[in-house]
């Protein structure tokens, strides 16, 4: 059985790690390079680096910061934010990224997923989907959650899989930063719908939330930010408890 992955996320703005609630009210959470080194040492399985203002500011990802962060890591490193082309991905991979995460650009031009999967391999391509419930259905949102669409989470998830994405990073905007638990029902439905790994994001607050997202949300990986940044949960303690609950993890 494949081990479940614990993935800290560094949301980057102006070169600093930040964290908010429901994608709003950002506060400083520390130096991304120091945090990356710490998480790798503590036993994180992967690290995600999201330049959260790149798309809104219509610029490329902060390559120099990606390069410096990558030097501290011996675990898989996923980078996202402002990626719009094959050339953007080539640059990030050359500077230490192992995988890339695309979001708004993929919705605006879905062929980008095919192009990247063909050029670099599906294992390198993560499609991030930010969604929230609107009148009872989950709708995709763009530009860091600021721009709503009429696109259904379920339809888009199936399409990105068919176009060659290797993983889906699903963030529930309703749960993000609340520390009230992941969107388990939506995650269970999503995992039943697609045949590629789904990373759960949004809502981690306790160790039990991680246990539940693996047991009932059926996720392959769980991503979190503030509970790790502010030392509310230590990664090694989390993994030890998951193992006690018969959830396969790498210790």
**Residues assigned a catalytic role:** 11, 130
* Tokens encoding 229: 């940044």
CA separation for the pair 106, 129 (Å, rounded)? 10
CA separation for the pair 47, 61 (Å, rounded)? 16
In contact, 247 and 214? CB cutoff 8 Å: yes
3-state secondary structure the chain: CCCEEEEEEEEEECCEEEEEECCEEEEEEECHHHHHHHHHHHCCCCEEEEECCCCCCCCCCCHHHHHHHHCCCCCCEEEECCCCCHHHHHHHHHCCCCEEEECHHHHHCCHHHHHHHHHHCHHHEEEEEEEEEECCEEEEEECCCCEEEEEEHHHHHHHHHHCCCCEEEEEECCCCCCCCCCCHHHHHHHHHHCCCCEEEECCCCCHHHHHHHHHCCCCCEEEECHHHHCCCCCHHHHHHHHHHCCCCECC
CA separation for the pair 182, 76 (Å, rounded)? 23
């Amino acid at each position: 059985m494949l081990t479940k992955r614990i993935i800290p996320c560094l949301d980057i703005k102006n070169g600093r790690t930040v964290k908010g609630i429901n994608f709003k009210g950002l506060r400083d959470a520390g130096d991304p390079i120091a945090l990356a080194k710490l998480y790798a040492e503590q036993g994180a399985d992967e690290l995600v680096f999201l330049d959260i203002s790149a798309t809104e500011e219509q610029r490329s990802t902060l390559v120099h910061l990606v390069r410096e962060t990558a030097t501290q890591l011996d675990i898989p490193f996923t980078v996202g934010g402002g990626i719009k082309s094959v050339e953007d991905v080539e640059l990030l991979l050359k500077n230490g990224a192992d995988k890339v995460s695309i979001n708004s650009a993929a919705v605006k031009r879905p062929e980008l997923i095919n192009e990247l999967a063909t050029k670099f391999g599906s294992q390198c391509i993560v499609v991030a989907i930010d969604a929230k419930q609107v009148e009872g259905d989950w709708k995709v949102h763009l530009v860091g959650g600021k721009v709503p669409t009429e696109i259904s989470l379920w339809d888009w998830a199936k399409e990105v899989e068919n176009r060659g994405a290797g993983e889906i990073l699903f963030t529930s905007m309703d749960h993000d930063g609340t520390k009230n638990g992941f969107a388990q029902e939506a995650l269970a439905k999503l995992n039943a719908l697609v045949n590629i790994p789904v990373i759960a994001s949004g809502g981690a607050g306790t160790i039990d939330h991680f246990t539940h997202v693996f047991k009932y949300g059926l996720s392959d990986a769980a991503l979190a930010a503030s509970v790790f940044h502010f030392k509310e949960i230590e990664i090694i303690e989390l993994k030890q408890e998951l193992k006690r609950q018969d959830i396969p993890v790498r210790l």
